[in-house]
A and B are shown apart, each in its own frame.
Chain A
Amino acid sequence: MKNRFAATALAAVTLCLPIISQAQTEIQWWHSMTGGLNEWVNDQAKQFNDSQKDYKVVPTFKGNYDESMATATAAFRAGNAPHILQVFEVGTATMMAAKGAIKPVAEVMKESGVAFDPKSYVPAVAGYYTAANGQMLSFPFNSSTTIFYYNKDAFKAAGLDPNKAPSTWPEVVAAAAKLKASGSKCPYTTSWMSWVQLESFSTWHNVLFATQNNGFGGNSARLTFNSPLHLRHFENLANMSKQGLFVYKGRASVSVPSFVSGECAMFTGSSGSYADVSKNAKFAYGLAPLPYYPDVAGAPQNTAIGGASLWVMAGKKPAEYKGVAQFFKYLSSPEVQSASHKRTGYLPITTAAYELTEKSGYYKQFPGTDVAVQQMIRKTTDKSRGIRLGNFVQIRTIIDEETEQIWAGKKEPKQALDDAVRRGNEQLEKFEKANKS
């Protein structure tokens, strides 16, 4: 009995030895994905861990995007930063300015000897995370963009063609009027006021949201979204609001349930809301490109990016960076990307992944799921690469605060936009001052 025990123990130890001697390098990954997306993140880490023996990626949920970023900066100050940090697009300029805190992805890949071609990425996505010198700074992970959703059943009831979404703003107004006449209490609503109605609106119409090519040219950018075109759009929305054609349903993505429940017939928001819509909507719905003003030259161009990317934090060991590089290589393979795209509704980040998804017949099976990709894979212009500004979190809140005054009838659109630009510029000046290089 005793002998057998000893034999088993010995066998166990010998079996374990190779694993013990070959200690895995742990890679900490902090993210902000909840619910189904949290499972997605965990599955990606698990599949990577199972695919090789040297590294172990450990994903940890650290709260909302702003919370996890605040936690990570505090951790960095205390010397405990993770290897990989998921940062929302709004935090991009802050991360870029933090030169000593991050390690550019291009550098991580190069030093680890992993082949890496920035050209294989979707231009609007990769361009957003690329520095002026062409160096890719962060790894695009979950990118989304803004699209137009509509309720086909409500369209039918209002005598509109359910298979033809309004493609211009005048058409949206006309459709909203018909929907209201047929009894709809909320013909049109939107989520993410700044992202949809100002940022995407700007890139879609190929006009600047801020100078310095929307902040890509440097920290001295100033806001320009009180231009005649922007003003025209907000006067249009304000009129719609007065007539009950546009109903304000709150900041960020609070308004999504209003569309999903069938209360609102038309909705503009993140392509990432598709997961929620497809799962919970009890009516026929359609996905379409964002509306535009047909008389604007150059429109439609492409929409602005949203979502998040993965940043590599500075001050880690070379072996750990090798692991990070391997993990990124794994994540960008067309198969993994295509599977993620189908699973989450986020954009495929490489052209190869898009082509693979198309070949699989997915877009034919789920019509409209390619709208977001189609809006993003076009060649970008200097005005449409995206919006990358410092203190962007505050600027977006300022835009929320000022535009709410329009819907509440307290301010005229012109004054609200002018005030938002003035207050936003104060934030930009502050950022410029804090990040003099």
Chain B
Amino acid sequence: MEKRVLFKSTWLPWLLLAPQFCIITVFFFWPAGQALLQSFQLQDPFGLSTEWVGLDNFKALFSDSGYLESFKTTAVFSTLVATIGIGVSLMLAVLADRIIKGALFYRTLLIVPYAVAPAVAGVLWIFMFSPSLGIVSYWLAQSIGFQTDYLLNSNHAMGLIVSAAVWKQVSYNFLFFVAGLQSIPKSLIEAAAIDGAGPWKRFTSIQFPLLSPTTFFLLVINLVYAFFDTFAIIDATTHGGPGRDTSTLVYKVYYDGFKAMDLGGSAAQSVVLMVIVIALTVFQFRYVEKKVNYA
């Protein structure tokens, strides 16, 4: 079934598109163009002197081994955030979907973290896992003798920022999964149950396939979230350390642009980031989406 509307006049479709186009121009094309322009310039913070340096900013970026390293960091971080985030929230959603008593209460509870600002989330996790002050790190050391030290151990640091980022995003994913699960007709599940399919079988052969559009949507959203929205968490917890082991691409953009006021370098990085996300989105819609069943 294909949806296609035929317009008789040639100007009407353009007119209908105009409002959307205006918004995109103001909020996307214009700033993106600015970023592109600045990435070719070297400018002092006050904007008093601007020098055209061509591709120098990009050359500097790619000759910096630390920058290439942060691609890897970003890949690890986003993969972990997206998979763990989607996995955990799917599990929670299935569990919450089965609950009959107090369902609303549990759902509300699970949505609360979404209302917390990323920086605040970061601080919360620091309070729990700080090597000398954290309550959880203290408890871990006391009970099982596990010493957490995100200050010098990069795996611990990565664990910390992934946990904080996932914890914040789980609510959002959860909402969509619960809605998706609720829209699956009960009769389908019941019929399967009568045929003797256990809960796991029902989940793998009915519920999960029917959730595939939701899962795909969340995959895109979560990757974009991990790429763009997590710098506040990193800034509040590890500052990209130890060394540069948790410095993701977007954290570096934020740090160089807003803290170190290196506008050209920061703009060049955002252009790189923009290219990556465009490529990733194209890839997802071209190849991953084929596996999605919109039925």
Number of interface residues of B (CB under 8 A): 34
Complex interface: chain A residues within 8 A of B104 (CB):
none
CB distance from B129 to the nearest CB of A (A): 12
Is A343 part of the binding interface, using a Cβ–Cβ cutoff of 8 Å? no
Q: Residue on B with the closest CB to A396?
A: B260
Complex interface: chain A residues within 8 A of B92 (CB):
none
Is A342 part of the binding interface, using a Cβ–Cβ cutoff of 8 Å? no
Is B25 part of the binding interface, using a Cβ–Cβ cutoff of 8 Å? no
Q: Give the CA-CA distance A435 to B48 in the complex, in Å.
A: 10
> Is B244 within 8 A of A401, CB to CB?
yes
Is A250 part of the binding interface, using a Cβ–Cβ cutoff of 8 Å? yes
Q: A70-B258, A100-B48, A391-B260 are in contact. Are A430 and B60 (CB under 8 A)?
A: yes
Q: A98-B45, A101-B48 are in contact. Are A248 and B261 (CB under 8 A)?
A: no
Segment at the A interface, from B10-18, B213-221, B235-243 = B235-243
Q: Give the CA-CA distance A77 to B34 in the complex, in Å.
A: 15
Q: Give the CA-CA distance A251 to B234 in the complex, in Å.
A: 14
Bitwise, B33-52 to A at CB < 8 A (1) or not (0) is: 00000000011111111010
Is B259 part of the binding interface, using a Cβ–Cβ cutoff of 8 Å? yes
Q: Give the CA-CA distance A70 to B42 in the complex, in Å.
A: 17
Q: A66-B259, A394-B260, A394-B262 are in contact. Are A73 and B45 (CB under 8 A)?
A: yes
Q: A70-B259, A101-B48, A394-B260 are in contact. Are A258 and B132 (CB under 8 A)?
A: yes
Is B255 part of the binding interface, using a Cβ–Cβ cutoff of 8 Å? yes
> Is B42 within 8 A of A401, CB to CB?
no
Interface CB pairs A-B, < 8 A, 18: A66-B258, A69-B45, A70-B261, A73-B45, A73-B46, A94-B45, A98-B44, A249-B151, A258-B132, A261-B133, A393-B259, A397-B255, A400-B239, A400-B241, A401-B240, A401-B241, A423-B64, A430-B42
> Is B241 within 8 A of A73, CB to CB?
no
Size category of the A interface is 35 or more
Q: Give the CA-CA distance A393 to B60 in the complex, in Å.
A: 18
Seen from chain A, the residues whose Cβ lies within 8 Å of a Cβ on chain B are: 66-67, 69-70, 73, 76-77, 94, 97-101, 248-251, 257-258, 261, 263, 391, 393-394, 397, 400-402, 404-405, 407-408, 410, 423, 426, 430, 433-436
Within 8 A of A (CB), among B109-159: 131-133, 151-154
Q: A98-B46, A426-B60, A430-B60 are in contact. Are A393 and B241 (CB under 8 A)?
A: no
Complex interface: chain A residues within 8 A of B43 (CB):
434
Q: Give the CA-CA distance A397 to B45 in the complex, in Å.
A: 18
> Is B152 within 8 A of A248, CB to CB?
yes
> Is B243 within 8 A of A98, CB to CB?
no
Q: Give the CA-CA distance A408 to B155 in the complex, in Å.
A: 12
CB distance from A62 to the nearest CB of B (A): 13
Among the interface residues A97, A249, A408, which one has the most CB atoms of the partner chain B within 10 A? A408
CB distance from A253 to the nearest CB of B (A): 13
Give 8 new A-B contacts, CB below 8 A, not counting A98-B44, A249-B132.
Answer: A66-B260, A70-B261, A77-B47, A391-B260, A402-B243, A405-B243, A426-B60, A435-B44
Q: Give the CA-CA distance A99 to B262 in the complex, in Å.
A: 18
